Structures are given as C-alpha cells and as structure tokens.
Structure 1
Amino acid sequence: MADLANAFEQIAALDHDPDADWSLPGWLYTDPEVQALEIERVFRPSWQIVCHESDIPGPGDWRKLDYIGESVIVVRGDDGVVRAFANVCRHRAMRLVEGDKGCAKKFICPYHAWAFETDGRLTGVPMKSDYPALRLEENGLAKIDLEIWRGFIFVRLVDAGFPSVATMMAPFEAEVAAYRFEDMRCISDVRLRDRSVNWKNVGDNYSDNLHIPVAHDGLTRIFAKSYEIEAHGWADRLKGDLVDKPSSNFWESFYMKHLPAAPHLSPTAQRRWLYYKLWPNMAFDIYADQIDFMQWLPTGPTTCVLREMAHALPDDRREMKLARYANWRVNRVVNKEDTWLIERVQQGMASQTYGAGPIGRSEVCLRSFARKYRALIPEARLHKAPPAGWSKS
C-alpha cells in the first residue's frame, strides 16, 4: 500500500493531466474488475464516517459500520477512550455483534463464548488449556485506525498515506468552527437506502453544478444564481445562499421565512446552505438548523447503499422543529429528483455507444475527482473497456 500511495502522490503532482478535459468513461461504472480494484485502492485506505461521539456516550456503548465485506465496531471503553476494532472473533472469525448499535460490558462471541473487553483485550476462553498455541495477549480484537474530527468518528482499514479528515477539511476550519459540531446530538438515526447505481454516480451528481438549474426547480427558486462550487484537493465546497424573494412552493417559503435565528452563526451563515464532499464518498450538508452526513458505499458494480444520519445543536424551540421539518420536505424532493437522474445515467453508462464525455472548465469538482481516480487506477484513461482479465495483467 505504501507503493500505491507513493505512485498516487507522484501522478497527482503532475502539472498537467492529459485527460483533464474528459470525464471518467462509462465502463468504469459497470465493470466488476474495476470494483475489485476500487475496494483495494480507494476504499480500504480511505476514511469512512461511523457516527458522532455523542452517539456512544457511555462505557460499552458501540456503533457498527459494515462496508466492502468488512465490519467495524466503534466502542467507548470503561476508561472513556473511543476505539475501533474488527467485528471478528479471533478464534473462528465469528461476528461478535449484530445490528447497528448497542451497549456491552464485554463482547462475548456467540459461537464459543470467547470474551473480549471493550478495550479489545481477550480475557476469557472456555477450556483455555485446550489451545496449545493460545496467547491471550496476542489474540485481542484486531485494531482499526480511528480519527475523531470535531466530534465525528471516522475509521479506515489500512494506512496507505491518504490524508486525515482534519487535513482534508483544513481549508475550511474557520468556516465550520462556528457551527459547533462537537456539541451536536443526533436528531435522525442511521438510514440506509439502496440504489441501483454505481457509487461514483452518486458522488458525481453530488458535485455536479451544471444540473442544478436544469433539474432542481426548488433549489433554483431558493438559491437563484448564488450556487457555487470549489475544488480544494481532497474536499469539494459547494454553497447556495437563500434569497429574500418568497418561493411559490409552500415548504420552501415557510423555511426561508420562519427559520429561527441561530445566535452562534453570522448573518451570512444563517442564510447559507453549505456542502462539503470528502474523498472519496462522504458528504456533509450543513444548514443553520442542522447538519446531515451521507456516504455512498459500493455493494456491487452497479449498486450501492446510501448511509445517512442527521445531527443538530440541542434546541427545543417549536419554530426550530418546524424549520427542520420544512428542510426535510424541501430536500425530500431534491433527493427524489437526484435519484431519477442517477438511475438513468447508470443505464446510459452501460451503453456500448458511450465512451467518455467532454468535461467543462467549470466542472472543477468532477475534474478533481477524476484526476485522483486516474492516479489510483490508470486504466481509467481508456475510453473503452479493455478485454476481460485486464486487472490481472
């Protein structure tokens, strides 16, 4: 993985990408061999969000994230420290926990009752003398890298030199500090939504600026021409400012008129919808009333699952609850429109008539993603799929 990271840095540092004016080709969105390489080169080394620290407030509280065939437990130990482990018993590889969350004094394997502490130590083995090779201190739970950024917990499976979440978000620290992420609490627990599209289609659409005035009437009404995108290496920044003109849509107009004041935010932030997309598949949607996170995880060459959760500062005001409901009503329509779009793009990507499309200078986020992707998977420069078995050569 170190060689992969070195190659990535060398290629990404090139002054000119010869394929900069072309999108990623369609075959990358359907090919099983591509998915296998993505798992090793893109997903295993990348940070993935699990939850907020406040979601595991007490000793033994845990959350679980399943993706690309792995299962990771994030748990708060008796000492208050948050750690991450593989959800795999060291005896016969049994999954230790089921479900998305829980609380455990110990992790007891349901297969043979091996017992692991919340700090990962193996402390109990029935018939321990029956295992000549067993060393308790050498068979604790496998540790997974963990990072906490502004209260949110991230994990990664391997270290290949990719930047930390803090590094990816460094250009925006001054902007996000005012939102007080660390003090937020969950207002909508994890939702999983299956999608019949390649994971890259979700991310491409998220960062695409040109489709907003064409396909999202609601966003166009509330943002007018204020929607902007920026690429900052490992993270994209997108934003739209709410206009003063009342919308013809009830919930849009209600939100813009009745959103209560957030004293911790500037007047600009109060009226701004702010979005950050982090490499390779995570996004924060930041509003004055709440923050949503979303990640799109591959489940097959042409399928993925959206994993979503919402957090906010504690606020029991009735008008804030109504504003959050109005926010949800507005974005429910946007999500439905986006789902319709990406499903049809996925269908088009499967057509043998499509290779790669020209990409505009203004499509800076798509250009940035494609540049990094080609560095990791050079075959992505081919506009048509190579013969089967190409990834083995």
Structure 2
Amino acid sequence: MHDQMPSAAGFVASDPDADWGLPGWTYNDPDFFDAEMAAVIRPSWQIVCHESDLARTGDWRSIDYVGESVIVVRGEDGVVRGFTNVCRHRAMRLLDGTGGCAKKIICRYHAWAYELDGRLTGVPESRDYPMLDKASQGLSPVGLEIWRGFVFVRLDDDGGPSVAAMMAPYEQEIEPYRFADLRTITPAYMRPRAVNWKNIGDNYSDNLHIPVAHPGLTRLFGKSYAIAAEPYVDKMSGYLVDKPSVDPWERFYQSHLPHADHLPEANQRLWLYYKLWPNIAFDIYPDQVDFMQWLPISPTQSVLRMMAFALPDDRREMKLVRYANDRINRHVNAEDTWLITRVQAGMASKSFTVGPIGRSEVCLRSFAAKIRAAIPEARLHHAPPPGWSKRPRTVRG
C-alpha cells in the first residue's frame, strides 16, 4: 500500500499533456485495450458484494471480468477469502452462477474437492498422480479487502493503494451512512453497453454535461452541482432544491423523502457520487446506496454491473421514495447511454485525434493523467503500428 499518495493536482501537475484528453484511438484500439487490462484493470480493486451477502459458512458470490472468474467465500473459520474459480487439475470452472452456498467446492469434471479455505483435500485415484502435491495445488488466491462492509478483490497486486487508502479523504463524509449495516435490496445485475469502458467513466465524472444533457438532475439540483478530485476518487454532489419539479417522479421524491434519523441535517437532501479508480462508482442518497462498475469486454464493448443497498426500513414512504429514485435514475441512465454511444462513434472518426480538457474538468484531467502514467502510449495522438503492446515499447511524444 502507498502510505503517502500524490494529490490529484500532483498527478496533473506532473503530466505534460494535462490540458488534453485521451486520444480517440485509445477508445477502440485492441493493443491499447490489452495494455489497459494488464496495467490498469487487473491490478485494480473490483467490488463483489456486501459482507452481509456472505453471512453463513459456505456462502459465496462471484464476479467475472477480463477473462477471469473470481469467487469470494466465507470459510468455516469465519474468514472471507477470494479465489479464481478454476480447478487446478484441468482448469474446469468450479462454481456456476453469481452466488450460492457450499459445504465444499467440488469439481464436476473429475471430482477434485477443495475446502472453503481453498485447500485441496480430495483427489480420486490420487496415487495415479506421482507429481501431485496437494499442499501446493489449492485454489489460486486473489487479493481481497473488506472496506466498510463491502468485499473487493483484485487479480494482480502491483503495490497500489488499498480501497481504504484511496477513500481516506472522504471517510468522515461517508461515516454517517453506516455502510457496514447496509443490506442488499437489488442483487447485482448486468447491462451491456456498446462503448469502451473509459467512455462510461469519463461521462460519470463529466461535470459540464449536467446542465446540457440532464434536465431532470438540473431541476433537482439547481446550481448546487459540484465536483472535486482526490488522487484516486472523484466526488460529485448536489442538494435537492425546494422548488417542486414539473416531473411527477422528481416531485414525488422531493416531497415525500422521509427523514433519515442516522444522517445529519445537512445530508437529508444531499446526493453524493463517488468514482473509485478506475471503474467503480457509488451513488449515496438519503434513502439508499447504489454501486456500479463498468467492466471491459472488448475495445468497444463493456457491461455495467449494478446493485443497490439500504439500511433496513419498512416504512411505506421509504419504499415508495426508493421506487421514485429508481425511476429518476433510469431516465438519467438512458440519457447517459445515448451520450456515450454517440461519443464512442465519434472516437472512431479519422477527423478526431485528441480534444482539450478545461481546467474546471478536474476529474477528467486526473483520470487522463493516471492513464498516461500507466500507459505512456496514451500520449501519442495516433496509434502505433498494430502489435505494439506485445513488443518492447519505446514511446515518443
């Protein structure tokens, strides 16, 4: 873990291309995609579930991304561990689906058996394998961190910061929301998007499009929408205005949002948005908390993985407000999908190389600087010859 991280401004100040966005070719180039998966996505933390989803011994949840399937499971000792979902014999996928409960993990190909802590304990006809060492053939572990009740995994450990370290600048803001006490109200579901993963994240942190493309959010927030960038976290926020909206769902939410006793008065009508490097977002409302991650599938295909959590609350008005919240954000999501689909198409135009980033676009500047630091080829306005990601790399500006 990095004990002392550079500031977001430090990332940008050290970047000679700080006034420019990422070139269009980086949003559709297969070599750049391969480089990103190795340098950005595999070493990054990905949310899997809430710890309460693993309440019992043997409870497990899964996440599939970058060609890997990962499971997290609670062992008999109460510890939650993460493993790749692969048998060490013939690479058989061990567990299917998004979750369940198991006493042991048994391969349905040749019946190799693994304990919940990953140990290999059962091999039929084990004497037939003269080189077999059960102690070294347990399930392959992945990095795991539990932050405020949420379970994160990462495939590669590059020495980068923990989730707790990345979120440290906002710990006091998040504290009142009692993340550890949240419970799942909407299990993880997937939505495909025909865009590069970066386009989704860029749009999430783009402050300038709110008054142009999101009339509903503008009606709700007025002029209170604000953004900020910390080293590995972008923050957006807005306060609900008192003026009743012309939209019925927005107006219902404004007028019926019940008091949340666990929140300070300043947060009763506050919507908070955080984007965790590089591809996770969580939206914090007085009534619930939504998580979303945009998982890369190919240079021009991604999938949104979304889920929602809330504190137990059986009040009828809270249930109705959460439904109104969903209706509002479905509309916002549809607007964003329309936007990013057209941006993705434009990125393929030979007329577009790279566009400027305004100084007020602090989140976009921070993200682009980190991508360029991880993959120096992102400084090039045109793609190198095909195959560059597999050859020794020399980058010129």
Query: Structure 2 length normalisation: TM-score?
Result: 0.95
Deviation at residue 383 of structure 1 after TM alignment? 1.4
Q: Which residue does 2:216 correspond to in 1? A: 218
1:181 matched residue in structure 2: 179
**What's the CA shift for 1:310?**
0.2
Corresponding residue of 1:152? 150
Q: Which runs of 4+ in 1 moved over 2 A?
A: 12-16
8 A contact 2:11–2:370 mirrored in 1: no
CA-atom RMSD, angstroms? 1.5
* 3-state secondary structure, aligned to 1:23: coil
Name the residue aligned to 1:231: 229
2:93 alignment counterpart:
95
Match of 1:117 among 112, 115, 118: 115
TM-superposed deviation, 1:91: 0.7
**How far does residue 15 in structure 1 lie from its aligned partner after superposition?**
4.1
TM superposition shift of 1:298? 0.4
Gaps of 5+ in 2: 393-397
| 1:130 aligns to 2:128 (yes or no) | yes
Residue correspondence of structure 1 range 27-106 to structure 2 within 5 A: 27-106=25-104
Q: CA deviation at 1:204?
A: 0.1
The superposition leaves residues 113-155 of structure 1 with CA deviations (integer Å, 9 ceiling, x where unpaired) of 0000101111111001111011111111111110000000000
Structure 1 Cα separation of the partners of residues 326 and 97 of structure 2: 26
Residue 178 of structure 1 aligns to a residue whose secondary structure is helix
How many correspondences in the alignment? 387
| Conserved 8 A contact 2:12-2:365 | no
Structure 1: runs of 5+ lacking an equivalent? none
Report the AA paired with residue 311 of structure 1.
F
TM-aligned CA deviation for residue 157 of structure 1: 0.8
Partners of 1:389 and 1:71 in 2: how far apart? 27
Aligned AA for 1:250?
P
Q: d(CA) in 2 for partners of 1:17 and 1:109?
A: 49
Q: Percent identity over the alignment?
A: 67
Distance, in Å, in 1 between the alignment partners of 2:11 and 2:73 is 38
CA distance in 1, matches of 2:125, 2:203: 55
Q: CA deviation at 1:13?
A: 5.9
TM-score (norm 1): 0.96
- Give the match for residue 139 of structure 1: 137
CA distance in 1, matches of 2:112, 2:147: 33
Which one of the candidate residues 193, 198, 219 is aligned to 1:195? Answer: 193
Q: Secondary structure at the match of 1:316?
A: coil
**Would you say the 8 A contact 2:256–2:317 is kept in 1?**
yes
- Aligned partners of 2:232, 2:75: CA distance in 1, in Å? 32
Amino acid corresponding to residue 35 of structure 2 in structure 1: L
After superposition, give the CA deviation of every residue in 1:314-342 in whole Å (9 maximum; x if it has no partner).
Answer: 00000000000000010010000000000
| 1:157-306 equivalence runs, <5 A | 157-306=155-304
Rounded to whole Å, the distance in 2 between the matches of 1:92 and 1:58 is 29
Q: Secondary structure at the match of 1:219?
A: helix
CA distance in 2, matches of 1:125, 1:304: 38
Cα distance in 1 for partners of 2:328, 2:41 equals 32
